[in-house]
Structure 1
Amino acid sequence: MAVATTALVIGSSLTAYGAYYDIYGNISQENIDTDAFGDRPGKVEGALNIMIIGSDVRSGDNGDYGKAEGERPDSLIIAHISPNQDGATLINLPRDSMVNLPACEANGDKPGMAAQYGMVNSAMTFGGVQCQWKAVEQTTGIHIDHFISLDFTGFKGMVDSIGGVEMCIPSAVDDDKAHLVLEAGKQVLDGEQSLGYMRSRYGQGDGSDLSRIDRQQDFLGAMLRKVTSGEIMSSPASIYGFLGSVTDSITTDDELTLDKMTDIAISMREVDMGNIQFVTVPNGQDPADPNRVAWTQPDADRLFQAIANDTEIAEKDDDKEKEEKDDSAADDSVSAVPAEQVAVEVLNGSGVDGRGSEVADALGAKGFQITGTGNPAEGTVPAKTTVYYGSGQESHAKSVAAELKTAIVEENPLLAGSTTVQLVIAADWDGIKGGGGALPSSVEGKTAEATEDVCG
């Protein structure tokens, strides 16, 4: 929402920008002591990961939606913004997910908690946003840069400020718990109806949180299309109303400054809706409780690794992948070797700290055996990123090079007799191809451009 908000301002007049600067002070901010987390996942330079919390807090105006102890995420999303891939991916973490939660210290009126196996969203109840942030990082391996929390009342105001969102309702809905009654068919939902639609669980589909997430993704796609439409972008009054509804009702970390929001907006304003993707963590029924879900492995970790390493995420097409491999084999006298059979040492000569570990993790996620990381000896860094190999290992080196956007292969007599190839990253490093970051078959994704409209 912060991205969409600032994108509106950057795309409009300086007057609107000035108005935004004035109401920026309305945002509640919270200090998050990430140093207390201990070891954290590595950060990829340029990429940004924001934890989005749809809060179910019932205090104040939100008390109209029932009573509940404490506060927890009703929805929990990691928004991954990737300048390298020119797009964004929003990953839903089902609130019913059972994971190994880390220990959290007491925080204000929150009692803290011991390490335990529990629902992913329970961390916020015991230790606030700081504990939830730590839990998301440690269970996914994804470095979180910022958080944004939005409550029920704020969400309603945001929808009303843009004149509602058009949705297709496949069948009539009557859900007392979500305060929602809708007729079937295409219609514009106001803020109250939109909140009910986003919260509704038992009155639609199979009553599961997973089917609700699917509908939420459709709604967010429709809302993004509306927010970025010419009608909204060209109206200072609509922009100001949208900004006001957002800033009055969101909480962020105190490191998410105006300048950083503006930087995000600049990087996202030209992104096509087809490059904004919604996915849900691969999951299945938790063996210990049929009412809970567990993340499916190794598919969930493959998804998390792709996000953590900022590699391309695209729908996996096994037939196309096989055809490309076949074509490659036909044009090359050296047969490809499966990643699982290739041992790789990664040496970082790019001059960018941490890049060797990031590349090693990304190649490991693709199945390669990583034997070690380090730096090349002084004076031995090649001009171009190179995969070196010993006698009989050329096919292994080419398998590694095939996964890189820019790389050459070269035999090195010093590796004679070794079954390990050596990747030396040079200053021309241009990243890893998206093959290993492809969505596993168990991951269902949709883009903001192609969210479902069963009304036609």
Structure 2
Amino acid sequence: MAQRPGSGDSDEERFNWLYGGSGSPGSPGSEPEPDATRRMPVQPRPQPTSRPAPQPAQRPAPQPVQPPAQPPTQHGRGGRSWRPRPRLRHLVLLLVAWIVFLVAVPIYAWTRVDDVAFAPGGERPDEQPGTTYLLVGSDSREGLTPEQRKEFGTGNAAGQRTDTIMLLHTGSGPNLLMSIPRDSLVEVPDRGTTKINAAYAFGGPKLLVKTIEQNTGIHIDEYVEIGIGGFVGLVDAVGGVEICPEKAMQDPLANLDVEAGCQEADGVTALGYARSRKTYTALGDVQRAQAQREVVSSVGDEVLSPWSVLNPVRYWRLNMAATDTVEFGKGMTPWRAGMWAMAMTRVNGENGLTCGVPIQDLAVNWDPDRAPQMFQAIIDDDTDRIGQGLCSPSGLPKGTTG
């Protein structure tokens, strides 16, 4: 075993002992001993390179903000164009605006209504169940221009008379629309027996109401009056009505010239159809009353049409025409007026009854048996019991002519 050199050994001996060399360090030919420690070659370490001094951080230059891309306005593939979807809140606002319009127009129109004092003084029938409206069509020319008188075929007669008299009863049973021909012979208070339309000419709405109440026993709850010009305006406001004359009708004095069969009629034609006195030769005034109910019912059907509400122009014109040309009795409320208008649309078929007042002859004398039965059914609000024996288009007994 090799001995570790002592402190007295030379540097060369110590070198040889550590690295296994027998000669001087690095001398050629010197071999290490078998158990001597071998010297492994050492790889030189890379020298560190100089690094550049750190530079302060620099912020990137701000980039300009690009505007948002505009949606394409030209048609793309398939011919479709890009459109933004409507927002729900926009639809809600539109719906609210429409509801406000539907409510505001009648309220505004009602501010233009003229009211009429119709309730007579003295003794009247007691209040009765249901509601009975008196509908009067006046043939007064007041307010018509010369051009309108010529167009409507009204002539220049002075004063005012009732061209149409109807009772509309609503209640627990079917609605009943009953015509009272203006030539009906009745007892007019303080005037004796005469035609019923004379009551209006003598004393206006109050005397007419008193005459009807005393001759029928029916209490009149509400009053509605419409003039010639208003009738034309109302028909035109709903876009015309359907009339169904059984034969061709020509009456130059009423500006009427229509063919037989169902057809659309404007306001002037409908007016002539409802008031012509020369073309209804079979039943005279009784037949005219049937035509008047036909036109009134047709107006009601058009008012009830959804188009009268969905079309804002038509809705506006209808409300304005109704309040500009129709006079309501004092005490009529917008709610009651609306009920009257709705009831006028429910007088046909299963919804109601349309009749002439029961008469016994074409001289328009009321039937002494059948007429009181009709009146009592209205007084009792029991229109369900009114059968064909009482309700006929002409008012004559069923099987006679009407």
If the TM-score is normalised by the length of the shorter chain, which range does it land in? Answer: 0.5 to 0.7
1:144 aligns with 2:220: yes
User: Is the CA contact 2:168–2:178 (under 8 Å) kept in the aligned structure 1?
Assistant: yes
The aligned runs of 1:308-347 (5 Å cut-off) are: 308-313=379-384
Looking at structure 2, the residues matched to 118 and 205 of structure 1 have their Cα atoms a distance apart, in angstroms, of 22
The alpha-carbon deviation at position 443 of structure 1 amounts to 3.3
The alpha-carbon deviation at position 33 of structure 1 amounts to 4.3
Choose the corresponding residue for 2:193, options 100, 117, 122: 117
Looking at structure 2, the residues matched to 205 and 271 of structure 1 have their Cα atoms a distance apart, in angstroms, of 26
**Which residue does the alignment assign to 2:302?**
226
The alpha-carbon deviation at position 441 of structure 1 amounts to 1.9
Match of 2:262, SS state, is: strand
User: Is the CA contact 2:138–2:228 (under 8 Å) kept in the aligned structure 1?
Assistant: yes
1:238 and 1:312, CA in 2 relative to 1: closer, same or farther beyond 3 A?
same
1:19 aligns with 2:105: yes
**Which residue does the alignment assign to 1:336?**
none
The aligned runs of 1:30-109 (5 Å cut-off) are: 30-34=116-120, 36-38=121-123, 40-45=124-129, 47-61=130-144, 63-64=149-150, 65-82=154-171, 84-85=172-173, 87-102=174-189
* Higher-strand-fraction structure: 1
User: Is the CA contact 2:117–2:205 (under 8 Å) kept in the aligned structure 1?
Assistant: no
The aligned runs of 1:144-293 (5 Å cut-off) are: 144-206=220-282, 208-262=284-338, 274-285=350-361, 292-293=363-364
1:263 and 1:187, CA in 2 relative to 1: closer, same or farther beyond 3 A?
closer
Match of 1:54, SS state, is: strand
Choose the corresponding residue for 2:387, options 434, 439, 445: 439
Q: Quick one: percent identity of the two aligned structures?
A: 29
User: Is the CA contact 1:164–1:190 (under 8 Å) kept in the aligned structure 2?
Assistant: yes
The alpha-carbon deviation at position 252 of structure 1 amounts to 1.5
The alpha-carbon deviation at position 75 of structure 1 amounts to 0.7
The alpha-carbon deviation at position 205 of structure 1 amounts to 4.7
Looking at structure 2, the residues matched to 153 and 268 of structure 1 have their Cα atoms a distance apart, in angstroms, of 20
TM-score by length of 2: 0.67
The alpha-carbon deviation at position 269 of structure 1 amounts to 8.4
The residue type equivalent to 2:392 in the other structure is E
Looking at structure 2, the residues matched to 213 and 241 of structure 1 have their Cα atoms a distance apart, in angstroms, of 27
Q: Deviations over 1:412-449 (max 9, x none)?
A: xxxxxxxxxxxxxxxxxxxxxx3xxx236253059xxx
The alpha-carbon deviation at position 306 of structure 1 amounts to 0.4
Match of 1:211, SS state, is: helix
The residue type equivalent to 2:371 in the other structure is A
Looking at structure 2, the residues matched to 175 and 268 of structure 1 have their Cα atoms a distance apart, in angstroms, of 28
1:173 and 1:258, CA in 2 relative to 1: closer, same or farther beyond 3 A?
same
Match of 1:37, SS state, is: coil
1:152 and 1:270, CA in 2 relative to 1: closer, same or farther beyond 3 A?
closer
The alpha-carbon deviation at position 262 of structure 1 amounts to 4.3
The aligned runs of 1:376-455 (5 Å cut-off) are: 434=385, 438-439=386-387, 441=389, 443-445=391-393
User: Is the CA contact 1:284–1:293 (under 8 Å) kept in the aligned structure 2?
Assistant: yes
Match of 1:177, SS state, is: helix
Q: Deviations over 1:314-366 (max 9, x none)?
A: xxxxxxxxxxxxxxxxxxxxxxxxxxxxxxxxxxxxxxxxxxxxxxxxxxxxx
Looking at structure 1, the residues matched to 341 and 241 of structure 2 have their Cα atoms a distance apart, in angstroms, of 22
Looking at structure 2, the residues matched to 170 and 299 of structure 1 have their Cα atoms a distance apart, in angstroms, of 28
Segments of 4+ moved more than 3 angstroms = 262-273
The aligned runs of 1:345-360 (5 Å cut-off) are: none
The alpha-carbon deviation at position 178 of structure 1 amounts to 1.5
User: Is the CA contact 2:176–2:383 (under 8 Å) kept in the aligned structure 1?
Assistant: no
User: Is the CA contact 1:277–1:445 (under 8 Å) kept in the aligned structure 2?
Assistant: no
The alpha-carbon deviation at position 309 of structure 1 amounts to 1.2
Match of 1:283, SS state, is: coil
Q: Deviations over 1:129-181 (max 9, x none)?
A: 11111111111110001111101110111111111112233322111222211
| Structure 1 alignment gaps of length 5 or more | 1-11, 103-113, 314-433, 447-456
The residue type equivalent to 1:138 in the other structure is Q
User: Is the CA contact 2:359–2:366 (under 8 Å) kept in the aligned structure 1?
Assistant: yes
Match of 2:111, SS state, is: helix
User: Is the CA contact 1:37–1:134 (under 8 Å) kept in the aligned structure 2?
Assistant: no
Looking at structure 2, the residues matched to 267 and 222 of structure 1 have their Cα atoms a distance apart, in angstroms, of 13
User: Is the CA contact 2:255–2:272 (under 8 Å) kept in the aligned structure 1?
Assistant: yes
Deviates more, 1:255-264 or 1:169-178: 255-264
1:268 and 1:90, CA in 2 relative to 1: closer, same or farther beyond 3 A?
closer
Looking at structure 1, the residues matched to 182 and 132 of structure 2 have their Cα atoms a distance apart, in angstroms, of 19
Q: Deviations over 1:360-392 (max 9, x none)?
A: xxxxxxxxxxxxxxxxxxxxxxxxxxxxxxxxx
User: Is the CA contact 1:302–1:440 (under 8 Å) kept in the aligned structure 2?
Assistant: no
TM-score by length of 1: 0.59
**Which residue does the alignment assign to 1:358?**
none
1:265 and 1:163, CA in 2 relative to 1: closer, same or farther beyond 3 A?
closer
Match of 1:26, SS state, is: coil
User: Is the CA contact 1:43–1:308 (under 8 Å) kept in the aligned structure 2?
Assistant: no
1:301 aligns with 2:385: no
Q: CA RMSD in A?
A: 2.5
Match of 1:294, SS state, is: coil
The alpha-carbon deviation at position 257 of structure 1 amounts to 1.9
User: Is the CA contact 2:125–2:219 (under 8 Å) kept in the aligned structure 1?
Assistant: yes
Looking at structure 1, the residues matched to 353 and 297 of structure 2 have their Cα atoms a distance apart, in angstroms, of 9
The residue type equivalent to 2:367 in the other structure is T
